[in-house]
Amino acid sequence: MPSPDPDRRLPPAARVPSPDPDRRLPPAARVPSPDPDRRLPPAARVPSPDPDRRLPPAARVPSPQELLAPSELHVPVGPWANWAMGAACAGGSGYARIHVRDPRVAASAGAFSLAYLFAGGLVAGGHPRLGHDLGTVLSLGLLGAAVPTARATFDAPYAVAMSAAGGLSMYANFLKSYLLRRQGQQEREQGAK
């Protein structure tokens, strides 16, 4: 039976150290190295353009292109975001009517509530881009109506709460609308090829 170690018959001083630590193992028992250059001396190794290539996939830092890929990025903004804003505006309408005692503010909050509910219905009904576009416009309108009041009177929890909710809703709806537009554009480009 041939020996797996060809240097076995040489004295220890005459043996050449092997760059392969697994050379004494049968090929089936060897562990593949994630570094293809490990058998080369350090001076002959080619520097990798990817500094994270030796890290496990969970520890890698994604590139900006990987972060913004619409197929990879899923923003869970469905009709519930618009419906929640509709419910918040309905609650704000009741608050404005009872505590602020301003029927004009209560009526505008009620109108925003109905419009948000309609936008959520569009998203749920199969028109997500139109629903998120409407949600973005409504959030901008809500910000335009609530921010000046919140800045003028810092003691108005209603205006501050509606400003914060409008800002969050605008961000979520705009991001989802943008991703849907970009995804549609990429599908059209792939269909044309």
Could you give the 3-state DSSP secondary structure of residue 156?
coil
Q: Indicate the range of 31-35, 76-80, 95-99, 173-177 predicted with least confidence.
A: 31-35
Give the other-Cβ count within 10 Å of 52's Cβ: 13
- The pLDDT tens digits for 70-101 are 444 455 667 888 898 999 989 888 888 888 77
Confidence of residue 128 (pLDDT cuts 50, 70, 90): confident
Residue 118 lies in a domain: yes
* Number of domains within the chain: 1
Contacts of 159 (CB under 8 A, 6+ apart): 146, 147, 149, 150, 153
Q: What is the pLDDT of residue 49?
A: 58
This prediction's pTM: 0.57
Phi then psi for residue 161, to 5 deg, are -65, -40
d(C-alpha 86, C-alpha 80), whole Å: 9
Residue 60 lies in a domain: no
Range of the domain at 141: 79-192
CA-based Rg of the chain, rounded to a whole angstrom? Answer: 31
Mean predicted lDDT score pLDDT of the chain: 75
Residue 58 lies in a domain: no
